[in-house]
A and B are shown apart, each in its own frame.
Chain A
């Protein structure tokens, strides 16, 4: 990887291992991810991709090593991180707009009431009708993926972590997801004076051809280790 300074790093892992009993989900992983880049993580099932993302999201802690995300511990910066997992992380009984308004209330509690305009804007951006009265449980898989992405980007994250965002999507849906992510990278940041101006995306996938257009860096994992890091000329 090229020389990077800490001011331009979105995340860095140094000698990170994650053990579950005797099973090592991650083994001595060290990697630096530059701010403003899109990183594609490849690897077979069980390679440690999801563990890596959950660790960057601050949802699990390393057994060994250090994780720095946006210059701090991951769990300290979780409000600046958007995370989309295999599951939609939404309530089946609520509509997409109700779900987003709920999470908006948790991210911006000082507002008098959650602003439906932001939630509607995000839903429209991911191609969902904000006025749709159907609960998320009745959505198709593609719609759930989009609603999940809407929740992940609702807080205007600086670092977006996507765990297999193209799974269960048909070719057209996946292409739409890619263009959504490309567009998301160009969105202006919320001006709080604290965040840098660059958005970083880290995504895992089994379909590298879909995210090729987005990826600046490709990381390949195998058995909990990073076996290859490739910088791509774009």
Chain B
């Protein structure tokens, strides 16, 4: 209970900081909007083609946009050496990670909510499968991205080129999750493929990586 309280305490702080600065949301929003609009102009897809490619475009847009926010997620902690003060506090290090993951999850979900209607309009989308399953795939996929992204952004904290390092590490490690997200989303949009298997794969990926990241975070944070 105390752990959850600390996680929520970190979350509240991150939401407040974002509300004041709007650094992450603004960057993500403009980037993802640009990707969606540019792809629609570049391909000018018909409805049938849209259903085939929209899953990939959606998740690649979200992945790229997330990286802009994830790169900044620890910047605030490094500025003024706040991270040192957090390291000295007697609260669990993993609570800091989980607070940040939840905050990033909320930011990316907000972007998806803004993006969804635009996506439907620009790509003339109409799901032929069970559209309600998207309500499961989107949070699962988002969790997979932000969990790994927040963790690997922390891993690169003490490196000089951390903005470059994050995508270099995150993208390859996200390939299984990305594949599952795209296949499941495409399956729902086209109605050709059963998305459940891909969703199970995605859920398994989330469980494994969440456990590993939480267990390793204290070591990462204490590394000199």
In the complex, what distance in Å separates the CA atom of A179 from the CA atom of B6? Answer: 35
> Which residue of chain A is the closest to B83 with respect to CB atoms?
A89
The answer to the question of A213 belonging to the interface, with a C-beta cut-off of 8 Å to chain B, is no
Set of chain B residues within 8 Å of A107, measured between Cβ atoms? 89-91
The answer to the question of A218 belonging to the interface, with a C-beta cut-off of 8 Å to chain B, is no
Do B89 and A94 have beta carbons less than 8 Å apart? Answer: no
Set of chain B residues within 8 Å of A83, measured between Cβ atoms? 84-85, 88
> Which residue of chain B is the closest to A79 with respect to CB atoms?
B90
Do A57 and B9 have beta carbons less than 8 Å apart? Answer: no
In the complex, what distance in Å separates the CA atom of A122 from the CA atom of B81? Answer: 21
Do A106 and B86 have beta carbons less than 8 Å apart? Answer: yes
From the candidates B17, B81, B88, name the one contacting A93 in the complex (CB within 8 A): B17
Stretch at the interface among A58-66, A182-190, A191-199: A58-66
In the complex, what distance in Å separates the CA atom of A98 from the CA atom of B19? Answer: 14
In the complex, what distance in Å separates the CA atom of A207 from the CA atom of B76? Answer: 31
In the complex, what distance in Å separates the CA atom of A79 from the CA atom of B5? Answer: 18
In the complex, what distance in Å separates the CA atom of A7 from the CA atom of B21? Answer: 48
**Which residues from 176 to 224 on chain B have a C-beta closer than 8 Å to any C-beta of chain A?**
222, 224
The answer to the question of A78 belonging to the interface, with a C-beta cut-off of 8 Å to chain B, is yes
Set of chain B residues within 8 Å of A109, measured between Cβ atoms? 2, 5-6, 9, 91
Do B89 and A90 have beta carbons less than 8 Å apart? Answer: no
**Which residues from 1 to 53 on chain B have a C-beta closer than 8 Å to any C-beta of chain A?**
2, 5-6, 9, 13, 16-17, 20-21
The answer to the question of B160 belonging to the interface, with a C-beta cut-off of 8 Å to chain A, is no
The answer to the question of A46 belonging to the interface, with a C-beta cut-off of 8 Å to chain B, is no
> How many residues of B are in contact with the other chain, CB < 8 A?
24
Question: Per-residue CB proximity of A99-137 to B under 8 Å, as 1/0?
Answer: 000110111011000000000000000000000000100
Do A110 and B81 have beta carbons less than 8 Å apart? Answer: no
From the candidates B9, B17, B224, name the one contacting A105 in the complex (CB within 8 A): B9
Set of chain A residues within 8 Å of B84, measured between Cβ atoms? 57, 59, 83, 85, 89
Interface of B is mostly: helix
Do B80 and A59 have beta carbons less than 8 Å apart? Answer: no
Do A90 and B82 have beta carbons less than 8 Å apart? Answer: yes
The answer to the question of A87 belonging to the interface, with a C-beta cut-off of 8 Å to chain B, is yes
In the complex, what distance in Å separates the CA atom of A73 from the CA atom of B39? Answer: 57
The answer to the question of A92 belonging to the interface, with a C-beta cut-off of 8 Å to chain B, is yes
> Which residue of chain A is the closest to B89 with respect to CB atoms?
A106
Do B20 and A93 have beta carbons less than 8 Å apart? Answer: yes
> Which residue of chain B is the closest to A107 with respect to CB atoms?
B89
Set of chain B residues within 8 Å of A81, measured between Cβ atoms? 88
In the complex, what distance in Å separates the CA atom of A58 from the CA atom of B9? Answer: 24
Whole-angstrom distance between the Cβ of A72 and the nearest chain B Cβ: 13
In the complex, what distance in Å separates the CA atom of A78 from the CA atom of B93? Answer: 13
Whole-angstrom distance between the Cβ of B160 and the nearest chain A Cβ: 15
The answer to the question of A15 belonging to the interface, with a C-beta cut-off of 8 Å to chain B, is no
In the complex, what distance in Å separates the CA atom of A106 from the CA atom of B85? Answer: 10
The answer to the question of B158 belonging to the interface, with a C-beta cut-off of 8 Å to chain A, is no
In the complex, what distance in Å separates the CA atom of A110 from the CA atom of B13? Answer: 18
In the complex, what distance in Å separates the CA atom of A90 from the CA atom of B87? Answer: 13
> Which residue of chain B is the closest to A59 with respect to CB atoms?
B84
CB-based closest 6 A-B pairs: A79-B90, A106-B89, A87-B81, A89-B85, A93-B20, A78-B88
A contact residues vs B (CB 8 Å cutoff): 57-61, 75, 78-79, 81, 83, 85-94, 98, 102-103, 105-107, 109-110, 135, 151
Question: Can you show 21 pairs from A to B with CB atoms below 8 A apart?
Answer: A58-B87, A75-B222, A78-B87, A78-B88, A78-B90, A81-B88, A83-B88, A85-B84, A86-B81, A87-B80, A89-B82, A89-B84, A90-B80, A90-B85, A91-B13, A94-B13, A106-B86, A106-B89, A106-B90, A107-B90, A109-B9
